[in-house]
Copies of this chain bind each other. A is one copy, B any other.
Amino acid sequence: MHSTDTHRSGCPINLALEVLGDRWSLLIIRDMIFAGKRHFRELLQSDEGISSNILADRLAMLVDRGMLTRAGDPGHKQKVIYSLTEKSIALVPVLVQIGVWGRAYLPASEDLTLVSIELEQGGPALWQQIMADLREAHLSR
């Protein structure tokens, strides 16, 4: 039943977890989507305290997997800028649903809960708007 030798199975959920199933990758994408972060040092300042080594490793992996692109940014003191791709922008509904679940069943902090409620209540129309704005900011080069 294995679809290819390089994947555990062809199940869409399994394939997604092969890409995203660690405790850091989705947090990097979260910070780029919802906090507008684009540079290494900004991403290093997450509340979760990601280490410089892990961040560098995950960024390289996300670029390798087509989730991010990496380019020079001559107008910024940090020379590299990361951009989302259509593939990672399409994770907005996944992140919203994960947030809804985390808020309902885990001890989420109040400030971040408000953001999550807003995202849930906005529904698919709001998610599409967020995705359109991200495309504008990240894909139009």
A71 interfacial by beta-carbon distance below 8 Å:
no
Query: In the complex the two chains form, is B87's CB within 8 Å of A93's CB?
Result: no
Q: Produce 1/0 per residue, A99-125, CB < 8 A to B.
A: 111111111110011001000000000
Q: A48 to chain B: which residues have CB within 8 Å? A: 8-9, 11, 14
Is A11 within 8 A of B91, CB to CB?
no
Cα distance A86–B3 in the bound complex, in angstroms: 33
Is A72 an interface position by the 8 A CB rule?
no
0/1 per residue, A40-83, Cβ < 8 Å to B?
00000011110000000000000000000000000000000000
Question: Is there contact, CB below 8 Å, between B4 and A107?
Answer: yes
Contact A101 B94 (CB under 8 A): yes
